[in-house]
A and B are shown apart, each in its own frame.
Chain A
Amino acid sequence: EAQVTQNPRYLITVTGKKLTVTCSQNMNHEYMSWYRQDPGLGLRQIYYSMNVEVTDKGDVPEGYKVSRKEKRNFPLILESPSPNQTSLYFCASSFRVGIHNSPLHFGNGTRLTVT
């Protein structure tokens, strides 16, 4: 089944403790991206990757890191989480952004709480 898999689904951590949220897709998509979703603010892009070893900042990259060493995986790293990073996070992939028949495929989200 074609899908984007995020892990974990729920995560509670403390300020300053490094964490990684994994994202994997099995559709051979070139484009992958991370978003956070907060009430009243909608989806905001954190980082995106057009292909392997190519990553770029989105609208809210501060406090986050990503890597794209292989096509299928795009982990999101929080080196020193803070309470303002408490949010619902989504990973998404697409064959190629801009091609008309390439929608974003989203994972089911990771709800992160930083205390």
Chain B
Amino acid sequence: KNQVEQSPQSLIILEGKNCTLQCNYTVSPFSNLRWYKQDTGRGPVSLTIMTFSENTKSNGRYTATLDADTKQSSLHITASQLSDSASYICVVSEDSNSGYALNFGKGTSLLVTP
């Protein structure tokens, strides 16, 4: 079963507009949550990491939030650019007895159009 659900599955927005991507998880015990950006034909690249005690973190025009109580995270993109067109993947790290396990969401595909 997938413990990380992302929505929407795909999204099309106009250049300059804002958007918000959602990640809901059931992973427990929680260690941290990362958002990755994957450009077409490339490997994913880490955008930001959220730990249990962090509510919000920004990386340029990307702002991630975390609500550990409701087990929800969001990635907000401000003033979108054509280069933001990519897949965004949420990865939740599980702190288990055998070490740390990574749980991947299926990603949100974002297309920014002129």
Contact = CB atoms under 8 A, between A and B. Distances in A.
Interface of A: 4, 40-45, 50, 90, 92, 97-98, 100-101, 103-104, 106-109
Interface of B: 31-32, 34, 36, 41-46, 49, 51, 89, 91, 93, 95, 99-100, 102, 104-107
27 contacts: A4-B43, A40-B106, A42-B89, A42-B104, A42-B106, A43-B104, A43-B107, A44-B104, A50-B99, A90-B44, A97-B93, A97-B99, A97-B100, A98-B31, A100-B32, A100-B49, A100-B51, A101-B49, A103-B34, A103-B46, A104-B36, A104-B44, A104-B46, A106-B43, A106-B44, A106-B45, A108-B43
Contacts of A50: 99
Contacts of A98: 31-32, 93, 95, 99-100
B62 to A, nearest CB: 14
Which secondary structure dominates chain B's binding surface?
strand
B99 A109 contact: no
Contacts, number: 53
Nearest to B51: A100
A92 B43 contact: yes
Contacts of B51: 100
A26 B93 CA distance: 24
Which secondary structure dominates chain A's binding surface?
loop
Contacts of A4: 43
Contact of B42 (A43, A101, A109): A109
A30 B32 CA distance: 19
B15 to A, nearest CB: 26
